[in-house]
Structure 1
Amino acid sequence: MDVSLALWVLTIAGLCALIGADFLVGRTPHDVSIREAGLWTAVWVALAALFGLGLLLFSGGQPAGEFFAGYITEKSLSVDNLFVFVLIMGKFAVPTHYQQRVLLVGVLIALVLRAVFIAAGATIVASFSWVFFLFGAFLIWTAWKLVKEARTEQQDDAEFEENRLLKMVEKRVPATDRYHGTRLFITRNGKRLMTPMLVVMLAIGTTDVLFAMDSIPAIFGLTQDPYIVFTANAFALMGLRQLYFLIGGLLKKLVHLSYGLSVILGFIGVKLFLHALHEAGVHVPEISIPVSLGVIVAVLAVTTATSLLAVRGRQPEPGEDAQEAQGDRGGDGHDTPTGTPDQRIGA
């Protein structure tokens, strides 16, 4: 797909306008209701569908099919991110009425960092066709790792571990141990201090990069067009904030999600191997985009259905209902401690 510089600029400007509108709507800290989250989730999905239909009308079925396959893959992989986002929010004890702002800025940081990864990946793919072997092997290994973690139920007892960048920031920049509204910095006794609000935003954004290590190779297995890779990631990420509030309480019910994601990653890994062999001159069949799209949708549908069936008769764990009810009531005050002393950020 031949994309001009003007189209790139127009696309980025359009995304910035949508992000600006999203920010204005949620500029006042508040608890996000299921109705609001559902409405905006539908809006972002509709915008992605309209963009895909635009590709179909102006560029043909191949780019449109690649976009929808990439978007659905990135969207499904981003659901796995929400598990970690829940852990981050809990570790930093983010009040519910601030979580919307945290996610918005955190996702923007993630989008910028992913754009860097996409640009680097596109350059490597264009220069070295053998890199598809590496991408394929990595995705298959990741698929096996997901199955292993799901079988040992490691996700149930998972704890968020700060990455090196976040530790470096916390070590070098003095910080408070309390939230001060949505402010990122405050001045105390003539000294400029970072608030936990900025720290948790950095945690969300930089942690997403770890997930991009498998999602970026996965989408390059479906399309090598940087424009489609970027736009699919953008639409998937920008709807992630609303999805967090919409299905946050349902995450524990998606007990087979890791199995489904492992099947998708493994499938794309095999697709990459076949593509790499084809590029090397070996006559092997390649998996088409319609087949890829069908497999991805079918796996997600089966995974969701089996997950809901598996938890239908499960009794709630002690305290689970109380915790959910407390989360629904939201936080209190505008000057809130970040949690227990061992969870707070040192001043």
Structure 2
Amino acid sequence: MNVPLWVWAITVVVILGLLAFDFFFHVRKAHTPTLREAAVWSAIYVGLALLFGVMVWVFGGAQMGAEYFGGYITEKALSVDNLFVFLIIMSSFAVPREDQQKVLLFGIVFALIARTAFIFAGKAMIETFSWTFYLFGLILIVTAGKLLAPEKDGEEEGADNFIIRLAKKYLRTTDHYDGDKLFTVENGRRVLTPMLLVMIAIGGTDILFALDSIPAIYGLTTNVFIVFTATAFSLMGLRQLYFLIDGLLDRLVYLKYGLSLILGFIGIKLILHALHENNLPFINDGEHVNVYEIEIGLSLSVILGILVVTVVASIFSPTGKLKTAINTIHRLAYGYVHTEYHGVEAEREANYQRMLDAEATLTKFDQEKVIELMEESGAAWLVDKAHRMHADATRR
């Protein structure tokens, strides 16, 4: 279905208006949102996304509506997973709680810009190259496999990622915050503050996220309007959602397994579609392959089913509770190891004490399982490094 230009124009104006409203009424004045504020605005943004989906269903038909909801749910799940990385980045930079809203809003805006570029690039590839669906399918299957791979010891995205190392090498930077300013003057020179560096880090990771996100939604629909709106509305309200569930993020310990299944499923769907539409000469002599194609209704049911099972398993599983505790320790240890952005020594000590308190909670679990999961996640390596750093600091 071709969407009229005026519908595109109204949609873009509404999205820009929501972003502007978010900035001027919520983010411009630094503050930490209350739980009630985060809950109310999260519900409003989800409600707007669902209302838009209903309008798409009514005016565009059931097929178009199902494609929107399938894309929105998939992108929303991927966005929540992205919050884990944002949490690590802001912990490692010790971003003041009241200033985290500005960082998150920047991340949302940058993600929307980056993904819009990828959306139109993906559409051009689909229309130009017959092998694009094969490529997208393989990308998703490989990504699904990578989500299941255990992390290497100490491996994490944070204050020392590649983009930040480049920024520090070629630009003048400081390790000290100056409110929420992006630049400040130090020793008579204009320098970048950590606030700008953390935005660069989140912007860089947003580009990587888009490489997985866009092929996933193109596996559900090739309608560029649906792809754009589902992606945009999945990002709307992500800032409020962060403050609503940041204490629960570690609880969703099985989310990556659910996302792996979803991405693998969509990857297979893309490969099947590519075979059905095949015209590559080295596959079946350039003829279409008569394979089963997964309908959007089945795709929507599978995605919802996997997410429901994943969330329920995360909440009620005893192993999930242990992984939650270990994830918390991992994050606190990482924040302590990267203490260069903590301006006050008391902040470092407070972070270390929180890590010790979190370690103490592990005594109620099976210790063999604790040791196994600590080693597997890389938390043991980080905690040991944090203890050694604290011992060195105490001796000095």
Which blocks of at least 5 consecutive residues in structure 1 are unaligned? 328-334, 341-347
Structure 1 window deviating more from structure 2 (160-169 vs 127-136): it is 160-169
Higher RCO (Cα < 8 Å, 6 or more apart) = 1
Following TM superposition, by how much is the alpha carbon of 1:23 offset from its aligned partner in structure 2, in angstroms? Answer: 1.2
What residue in structure 2 maps to residue 19 of structure 1? 19
What residue in structure 2 maps to residue 286 of structure 1? 293
CA distance in 1, matches of 2:294, 2:326: 47
CA distance in 2, matches of 1:164, 1:313: 32
CA distance in 1, matches of 2:66, 2:13: 24
Q: Secondary structure at the match of 1:192?
A: strand
What residue in structure 2 maps to residue 343 of structure 1? none
Following TM superposition, by how much is the alpha carbon of 1:283 offset from its aligned partner in structure 2, in angstroms? Answer: 2.0
Give the partner amino acid of 2:314: S
Classify 1:223/1:189 alpha carbon distance in 2 versus 1 (closer, same or farther; 3 Å): same
What residue in structure 2 maps to residue 46 of structure 1? 47
Q: Secondary structure at the match of 2:190?
A: strand
Structure 2 counterpart of 1:160, from 157, 177, 182: 157
- Pair 1:85 & 2:83 matched: no
CA distance in 2, matches of 1:299, 1:318: 24
Q: Deviations over 1:135-168 (max 9, x none)?
A: 112211211221223xxxx399542255544433
What residue in structure 1 maps to residue 140 of structure 2? 139
CA distance in 2, matches of 1:40, 1:250: 18
Give the partner amino acid of 1:13: V
What residue in structure 2 maps to residue 308 of structure 1? 315
Classify 1:336/1:22 alpha carbon distance in 2 versus 1 (closer, same or farther; 3 Å): farther
Following TM superposition, by how much is the alpha carbon of 1:181 offset from its aligned partner in structure 2, in angstroms? Answer: 1.4
Following TM superposition, by how much is the alpha carbon of 1:276 offset from its aligned partner in structure 2, in angstroms? Answer: 0.5
Does the 8 Å contact 1:163/1:207 carry over to 2?
A: no
Q: Deviations over 1:209-251 (max 9, x none)?
A: 1122111111000011111111111111122211211111112
Q: Deviations over 1:5-39 (max 9, x none)?
A: 33222211110101111112212111122211111
Q: How does 1:181-260 map to 2 (within 5 A)?
A: 181-188=179-186, 190-260=188-258
What residue in structure 1 maps to residue 6 of structure 2? 6
CA distance in 2, matches of 1:43, 1:99: 21
CA distance in 1, matches of 2:149, 2:215: 21
Give the partner amino acid of 2:139: F
Does the 8 Å contact 1:109/1:206 carry over to 2?
A: no
CA distance in 2, matches of 1:76, 1:114: 16
What residue in structure 2 maps to residue 330 of structure 1? none
Q: What TM-score results when the alignment is normalised by the length of structure 1?
A: 0.86
Structure 1 window deviating more from structure 2 (132-141 vs 262-271): it is 132-141
Does the 8 Å contact 1:69/1:292 carry over to 2?
A: yes
* Percent identity for Structure 1 against Structure 2: 51
Q: Deviations over 1:60-116 (max 9, x none)?
A: 111111111001000111111111111101111101111111101122112111111
Following TM superposition, by how much is the alpha carbon of 1:275 offset from its aligned partner in structure 2, in angstroms? Answer: 0.6
CA distance in 1, matches of 2:69, 2:148: 26
Classify 1:8/1:319 alpha carbon distance in 2 versus 1 (closer, same or farther; 3 Å): closer
CA distance in 2, matches of 1:318, 1:60: 46
Does the 8 Å contact 2:53/2:65 carry over to 1?
A: yes
Structure 1 window deviating more from structure 2 (267-276 vs 251-260): it is 251-260
- Pair 1:74 & 2:71 matched: no
Q: Deviations over 1:164-201 (max 9, x none)?
A: 44433332221222111121122445532221111111
CA distance in 1, matches of 2:63, 2:326: 51
Give the partner amino acid of 1:80: D
Classify 1:276/1:206 alpha carbon distance in 2 versus 1 (closer, same or farther; 3 Å): same
Structure 1 window deviating more from structure 2 (136-145 vs 69-78): it is 136-145
Does the 8 Å contact 1:95/1:336 carry over to 2?
A: no
Classify 1:146/1:312 alpha carbon distance in 2 versus 1 (closer, same or farther; 3 Å): closer
Q: Secondary structure at the match of 1:87?
A: helix
CA distance in 2, matches of 1:63, 1:337: 54
What residue in structure 2 maps to residue 126 of structure 1? 127
Give the partner amino acid of 2:13: A
Does the 8 Å contact 1:260/1:303 carry over to 2?
A: yes
Q: What TM-score results when the alignment is normalised by the length of structure 2?
A: 0.76
CA distance in 1, matches of 2:248, 2:292: 39
What residue in structure 1 maps to residue 96 of structure 2? 95
Give the partner amino acid of 1:81: N
Classify 1:312/1:160 alpha carbon distance in 2 versus 1 (closer, same or farther; 3 Å): closer
What residue in structure 2 maps to residue 331 of structure 1? none
